[in-house]
C-alpha cells in the first residue's frame, strides 16, 4: 500500500502498521483478505481529516466542561462510515458501567491514561487543558485497527482470529491517546525519522502507562506492545517488542517482525511513510535499555526524561536530536554525570547513536 504523497506529512495514526495489513492481503483465507482491504480503505479515508487537524491541534481539542477528566464513549454499531463518528453515546464521565465490555474498557483505560499524565507528568489531559477524551467502539465489521484522528479515538473489534477487540489492550489505548500528547507538544511530522519518533513516543508512554497501572518494575514487564489484542490464530508475543528479540518470526499470517534495533539496519524505503512503524524499533530499544539500566519503576525517571524531551523537540526532530536531548534533559534533571544520564548514554550507544 503506497501512501499518497500529499498525506505523508501528518496522516492518520493507526495502531496496526501498513506492513501487517499488506501481509494479510496475501492470506489464503478470503475473510482475512477482506478484513485487510477494509482496514486499508478506512485508514486512507481518515487521513485527510487527520492531515488537516494536525496543522491546528488546538482546534481539534474538545474542551471538558470543568477543565478536568471528561470521558465520552460512543458506539458505532459496526458502521464504518467515518462521517458518522462518533456514533451513539453509551457512557459519559461518572456514569456506571454498561453491559458492553468494549465501552467499559475504552472508558476505564482512557481514565487510566488521564490519571497517569496528571499524577506522574503533571499534565491535564492530552492538550494540558483538560481536553475531553472521546472514544468510539465497534467501528466497522471485524475491523482490524484502532486510530487517533486528531480529535478522538476509534476502535475496531478485530476479526476474532488474528486480532481481538482493540480496547482490550491498555498499551493500545495509551499508545493511541499519547499520539494526542505528541500533537500538542512537539507535533513531530509523520514521515521518516520524525514520524518514527512520533510512533516511538506513543509506544514508550503507552508502555509506561501500562507498567504504572500494573505496578510493575522494569524487570517485571514483558515490554511487549499489543499483547492483549493478539488472537489465537497467530503465534506472536505481541505486535512489537522493546527488547532485542522479534515479536513474531515466520508466522504463517504475520511473517516476521521487521523492526530494526540498530541504526545500521534502519529501513530507508518509501513504504509506511518512510518506515515510521518500522524504525520506531530503534529508539524503543534505546528507551528499554535506559530503563533497565536505571532500574526501578519506568515512570519515576525514564518516562519523565522522555516526556520532557518530547516537549523540547520540534516537528522535524530526528533520532540524533532526540538522543542528544534525552542526555541533556537527564543531566539537568539528575545531574551531569549522574547514573541516570549515563544510562541514557548507554541506551543510545547500543543502537548506534552517540550523545
**Is the N-terminal amide bond of 86 cis, ω within 30° of 0?**
yes
Distance (Å, whole) CA 104 – CA 102:
5
Distance (Å, whole) CA 303 – CA 297:
9
Q: What is the 3-state secondary structure (H, E, C) of 139-167?
A: CCCCCCCEEECCCCEEECCCCCCCECCHH
Our measurement of the distance from residue 21's CA atom to the centroid of its chain's CA atoms, rounded to an integer in Å, reads: 17
- Catalytically active residues, by annotation: 176, 277
Asked if 157 and 165 touch (Cβ cutoff 8 Å), the reply is yes
Q: Is 94 exposed, middle or buried (0-12, 13-18, 19+ CB in 10 A)?
A: exposed
Q: HSE, CB side, 13 Å, CA atoms: give it for residue 250.
A: 0
How many CB atoms lie under 10 A from the CB of residue 321? Answer: 17
Asked if 195 and 179 touch (Cβ cutoff 8 Å), the reply is no
Amino acid at each position: 500500500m503506497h501512501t499518497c504523497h500529499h498525506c505523508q506529512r501528518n496522516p492518520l495514526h493507526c495502531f496496526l502498521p501498513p506492513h501487517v495489513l499488506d501481509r494479510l492481503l496475501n492470506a489464503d483465507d478470503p475473510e482475512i483478505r477482506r478484513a485487510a482491504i477494509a482496514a486499508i480503505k478506512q485508514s486512507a479515508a481518515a487521513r485527510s481529516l487527520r492531515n488537516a487537524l494536525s496543522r491546528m491541534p488546538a482546534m481539534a481539542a474538545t474542551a471538558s466542561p470543568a477543565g478536568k477528566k471528561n470521558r465520552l464513549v460512543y458506539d458505532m454499531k459496526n458502521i464504518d462510515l467515518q462521517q458518522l463518528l462518533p456514533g451513539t453515546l453509551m457512557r459519559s464521565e461518572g456514569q456506571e458501567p454498561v453491559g458492553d465490555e468494549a465501552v467499559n474498557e475504552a472508558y476505564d483505560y482512557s481514565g487510566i491514561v488521564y490519571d497517569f499524565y496528571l499524577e506522574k507528568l503533571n499534565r491535564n489531559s492530552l492538550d494540558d487543558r483538560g481536553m475531553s477524551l472521546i472514544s468510539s467502539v465497534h467501528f466497522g465489521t471485524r475491523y482490524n485497527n484502532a486510530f487517533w484522528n486528531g480529535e478522538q479515538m476509534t476502535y475496531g473489534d478485530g476479526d476474532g482470529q488474528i486480532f481481538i477487540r482493540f480496547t482490550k489492550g491498555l498499551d493500545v489505548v495509551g499508545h493511541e491517546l499519547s499520539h494526542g500528547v505528541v500533537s500538542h507538544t512537539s507535533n513531530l511530522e509523520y514521515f521518516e525519522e520524525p514520524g518514527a519518533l512520533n510512533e516511538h513516543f506513543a509506544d514508550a508512554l503507552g508502555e509506561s502507562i501500562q507498567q504504572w497501572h500494573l505496578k510493575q518494575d522494569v524487570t517485571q514487564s514483558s515490554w511487549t506492545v499489543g499483547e492483549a489484542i493478539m488472537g489465537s490464530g497467530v503465534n506472536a508475543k505481541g505486535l512489537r517488542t522493546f527488547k532485542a528479540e522479534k515479536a513474531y518470526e515466520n508466522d504463517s499470517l504475520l511473517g516476521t517482525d521487521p523492526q530494526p534495533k540498530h541504526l545500521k539496519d534502519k529501513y530507508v524505503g518509501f513504504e509506511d511513510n518512510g518506515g515510521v512503524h518500522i524504525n520506531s524499533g530503534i529508539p524503543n530499544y534505546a528507551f528499554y535499555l535506559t530503563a533497565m539500566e536505571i532500574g526501578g519503576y519506568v515512570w519515576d525517571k525514564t518516562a519523565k526524561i522522555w516526556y520532557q524531551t518530547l516537549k523540547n523537540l520540534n516537528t522535524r526532530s530526528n533520532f540524533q536530536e532526540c538522543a542528544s536531548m534525552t542526555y541533556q534533559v537527564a543531566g539537568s534533571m539528575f545531574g551531569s554525570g549522574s547514573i541516570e544520564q549515563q544510562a541514557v548514554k548507554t541506551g543510545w550507544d547500543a543502537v548506534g547513536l552517540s550523545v
